[in-house]
Amino acid sequence: MKLERLAGCLIASIMGGIAASFGATASPASVDLVVSPSKLPRIARVDPRYQSYNVEMAEVIGGNFWKPYTPASVAAMKAKAAQASSTASVGVAGQDKTMFEKRAPIDLSNPRLRVLAKALGPACVRVSGTWANSAWFDASDQPPLEKAPSGFNGVLTRAEWKGVVDFAHAVNAELVTSFAISAGVRNAQDVWTPTQARKLVDYTHSIGGHIAAAEF
């Protein structure tokens, strides 16, 4: 009997709620709600470096990077996609001349660039991108190679990387990067090896730098 009585009360309550929602009873007067953010309790804290920015490895070592979007470049991309019957890019990243163009290394010591970047700090600067996946770090002081070793598509010199570390120091940014993962850092079993990554980390420490995080 108690269960039947409880079920009856629940059904009556539900039906009453439905009737009220459809206007069976008079609607109460509208109430203006006021929210005071300063009085809300804090439930979490965002790291001061949460909002950060990226510098492409292609901009550090020089390489093919995205063209500015212009009516002509967009038309060329659409024409190529239609010809291939696909909107997906095909081939080695950065080699499609309808989408990419050669870029020279940027000057990270530029005073104006540093002033503008510092205004974004504290932050993290991510130096990565597709070109970082296959960039060979030249740990020597020899003249830069004209061509990357087998298994790599680009060369990162010590001078270029020091420019990155100096930039991070100057603009109050923690350095985030990624290690090469191309064929050049894999053994006969196609397993990744840390030789290149270790050289980059060791050199970074030797010039007073710090890598806060790294990607693969």
- pTM of the predicted model, to two decimals? 0.72
User: Which residue type is seen at 29?
Assistant: A
User: Which residue type is seen at 114?
Assistant: R
Q: Tokens representing 39?
A: 């009085």
Higher pLDDT, 34 or 97: 34
Distance CA 194, CA 99 (A): 33
Condensed to tens digits (0 to 9), the pLDDT of residues 158-197 reads 999 999 999 999 999 999 999 999 999 999 999 999 999 9
Could you tell me the domains of the chain?
53-62+104-215 (3.20.20.80), 64-101 (no CATH)
Q: For position 154, what pLDDT does the model report?
A: 93
Distance of CA 113 to the CA centre of its chain: 20
Q: Which stretches of the chain are assigned E, i.e. beta strand? A: 53-56, 63-66, 100-103, 123-128, 135-138, 154-157, 173-178, 211-215
| Secondary structure of residue 200 in the 3-state scheme | helix
Distance CA 184, CA 182 (A): 5
Condensed to tens digits (0 to 9), the pLDDT of residues 192-207 reads 999 999 999 999 999 9
What confidence category does residue 82 fall into, taking pLDDT thresholds of 50, 70 and 90?
A: confident
